[in-house]
Amino acid sequence: MARNELRPVVKLRSTAGTGFIYVTRKNRRNDPDRLELRKYDPVAGRHVAFREER
């Protein structure tokens, strides 16, 4: 099955300024805007907001 642009791979970069990233997929129909999730940043040692970068 071919991968399409409905569920693109996105990078989530930490807003703590550590440079740590998560890589995930998102559904463009459900989340057309930039994704923002609170996840654990191991460099900062706490949960911070991660924003989608393109």
Task: Give the pLDDT score at 1.
Answer: 60
Sheet strand arrangement including 36-41: 21-25, 9-14, 46-53, 36-41
Angstrom distance (rounded) from CA 14 to CA 18: 7
Task: Give the pLDDT score at 40.
Answer: 98
Spacing of C-alpha 33 from chain mean position:
12
Name 4's Cβ contacts closer than 8 Å, sequence gap at least 6: none
For the chain, list residues with pLDDT below 70: 1-2
Angstrom distance (rounded) from CA 32 to CA 14: 20
Task: Give the pLDDT score at 4.
Answer: 75
